[in-house]
């Protein structure tokens, strides 16, 4: 079944999720978050939103911006549209609370690089109804991803684990334990990781990694989730990884 999909988010997630939807044959419209919010009252956006079957929200850096984005979608989407929100930096329950009809919101997490045959984690908020979860499962299967339902919370499983490893690697780099290249080599060759954690952070986007760690720290208040000062400084400096041309490495 071909569906009308609207995706709003940031790179690289926007491009990678969008490509999966396009490859699956869905009618797919992509918006950078700032473009969608800037066009919130435009007739072209209203037309796009009025025809949406599934809206996918992919913003991870700022909970304030995420709230504004979800509220905008909630006001303009047709009532039958499913809302899928990336919960790397917040819980499904919190994201759903920003919508006027939270029962149709399902949280998910994907981690780049994305390919058909991979997997997506899904999480119900306290408000999510079972029909919405079933629709979300079916949708992700149409784009070639396996699904797993997990407990709600920032980062779910992979986002939480991977970003904590990236954060710890950033602290090791800051403390002079080893160079970035040697930290990555140790983890790839020593533990068989698919990517070195610092290079992986650059690929995901250091602003996204910081968003995950900030969300985890706000949720649990434990020191193990405190963002590395080096990670914070890189994001403040605009060194976000591959998408900005420099992060832990230069590109």
Tens of pLDDT along 162-206?
999 999 999 999 999 999 999 999 999 998 888 999 999 999 999
Q: Is the pLDDT of residue 112 over 90?
A: no
Does the global pTM surpass 0.85?
yes
Task: Output the pLDDT for position 221.
Answer: 94
Task: Output the pLDDT for position 192.
Answer: 87
Cα dihedral angle (164, 170, 179, 234), rounded to 10 degrees?
Answer: 140
For the residues 205-225, what does the mean pLDDT come to? 95
How would residue 117 be classed by pLDDT, with cut points 50, 70 and 90? confident
Task: Output the pLDDT for position 90.
Answer: 94
Q: Beta strands 105-109 and 82-86: pairing type?
A: parallel
H or E stretch including 236? helix 229-236
Ranges of CATH 1.10.1040.50 domains, the chain: 158-236
CB 105 within 8 A of CB 55: no
Residue 106, judged by CB atoms within 10 A of its CB (0-12, 13-18, 19+), counts as buried
Q: Is the pLDDT of residue 49 over 90?
A: no
Q: Is the pLDDT of residue 109 over 90?
A: yes
Question: How many C-beta atoms surround the C-beta of residue 77 within 10 A?
Answer: 22
Task: Output the pLDDT for position 41.
Answer: 72
Average pLDDT score over the chain: 94
CB 117 within 8 A of CB 140: no
Residue 250, judged by CB atoms within 10 A of its CB (0-12, 13-18, 19+), counts as exposed
How would residue 75 be classed by pLDDT, with cut points 50, 70 and 90? confident
How would residue 246 be classed by pLDDT, with cut points 50, 70 and 90? very high
How would residue 208 be classed by pLDDT, with cut points 50, 70 and 90? very high
Task: Output the pLDDT for position 47.
Answer: 81
Q: Residue 147: phi, psi to the nearest 5?
A: -120, 150
Question: How many C-beta atoms surround the C-beta of residue 58 within 10 A?
Answer: 26
Task: Output the pLDDT for position 45.
Answer: 80
Pick the CATH number of 158-236 from 1.10.1040.50, 1.10.10.60, 3.10.20.30, 1.10.3720.10: 1.10.1040.50
For the residues 92-104, what does the mean pLDDT come to? 95
Question: Can you tell me the distance from the alpha carbon of 86 to that of 105, in angstroms, rounded to the nearest whole number?
Answer: 10
For the residues 58-73, what does the mean pLDDT come to? 93
DSSP 226: S
Ranges of CATH 3.40.50.720 domains, the chain: 4-149
**Which residues are CB-contacts of 96 (< 8 A; sequence separation ≥ 6)?**
85, 102, 103, 105, 125, 126, 127, 128
Question: Can you tell me the distance from the alpha carbon of 8 to that of 83, in angstroms, rounded to the nearest whole number?
Answer: 11
Q: How many helices (H) and strands (E) does the chain have?
A: 11, 7
H or E stretch including 124? strand 119-124
C-alpha separations of 217 from 24, 56, 153 in Å: 37, 25, 12
Q: Is the pLDDT of residue 87 over 90?
A: yes
How many CA atoms within 13 Å lie on the side-chain side of 19?
10
C-alpha separations of 232 from 161, 177, 207, 216 in Å: 19, 19, 8, 15
Q: Is the pLDDT of residue 229 over 80?
A: yes
How would residue 102 be classed by pLDDT, with cut points 50, 70 and 90? very high
CATH no., domain 4-149? 3.40.50.720
């Amino acid at each position: 079944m071909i569906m009308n999909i609207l995706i709003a988010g940031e790179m690289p997630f926007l491009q990678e999720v969008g490509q999966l939807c396009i490859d699956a044959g869905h009618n797919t419209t992509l918006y950078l978050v700032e473009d969608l919010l800037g066009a919130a009252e435009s007739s072209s956006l209203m037309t796009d939103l009025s025809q949406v079957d599934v809206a996918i929200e992919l913003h991870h850096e700022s909970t304030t911006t995420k709230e504004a984005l979800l509220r905008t979608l909630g006001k303009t989407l047709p009532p039958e549209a499913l809302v899928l929100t990336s919960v790397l930096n917040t819980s499904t329950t919190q994201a759903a609370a920003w919508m006027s009809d939270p029962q149709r919101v399902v949280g998910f997490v994907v981690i780049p690089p994305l390919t058909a045959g991979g997997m997506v984690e899904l999480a119900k908020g306290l408000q999510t109804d079972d029909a919405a979860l079933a629709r979300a499962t079916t949708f992700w299967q149409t784009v070639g991803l396996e699904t797993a339902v997990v407990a709600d919370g920032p980062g779910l499983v992979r986002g939480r684990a991977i970003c904590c490893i990236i954060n710890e690697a950033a602290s090791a780099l800051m403390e002079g334990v080893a160079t970035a290249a040697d930290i990555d080599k140790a983890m790839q060759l020593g533990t068989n990781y698919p990517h070195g954690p610092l290079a992986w952070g650059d690929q995901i986007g250091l602003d996204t990694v910081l968003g995950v760690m900030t969300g985890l720290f706000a949720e649990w208040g434990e020191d193990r989730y405190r963002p590395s000062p080096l990670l914070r400084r890189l994001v403040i400096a605009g060194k976000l990884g591959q998408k900005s041309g420099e992060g832990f490495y230069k590109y």
